[in-house]
């Protein structure tokens, strides 16, 4: 695996370290935080109620539209 170096202020480095567990590298910590952020984004996308209607309203509209 190719290794890269990034510049961080001591303040940022300390804040990242606060999220770490014993024995974790900064790379481990950052990867865990990235995965957590991805899961949160997916959760927010899936549970976003903007521009949605309730199931009852959808059924009512469907029954009204496709009456026999």
pLDDT in tens, 40-65: 999 999 889 888 888 999 999 998 88
pLDDT tens for 12-26 read: 999 999 999 999 999
pLDDT above 90 (res 11): yes
> How far, in Å, CA of 15 to CA of 42, rounded?
25
Q: Please indicate, yes or no, whether the overall pTM of this predicted structure exceeds 0.85.
A: no
Name the residue among 13, 51, 7 with its Cα closest to residue 30. Answer: 13
pLDDT at 31 over 90: yes
Per-residue model confidence (pLDDT) at position 12 = 97
pLDDT at 68 over 70: no
- Give the span between the Cα atoms of 34 and 59, in whole angstroms: 39
């Amino acid at each position: 695996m190719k290794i890269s170096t990034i510049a961080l202020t001591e303040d940022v480095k300390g804040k990242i370290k606060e999220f770490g567990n014993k024995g974790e590298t900064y790379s481990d910590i950052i990867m865990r935080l990235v995965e957590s952020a991805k899961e949160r984004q997916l959760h927010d996308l899936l549970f976003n109620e903007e521009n949605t209607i309730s199931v009852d309203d959808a059924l009512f509209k469907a029954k009204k539209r496709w009456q026999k």
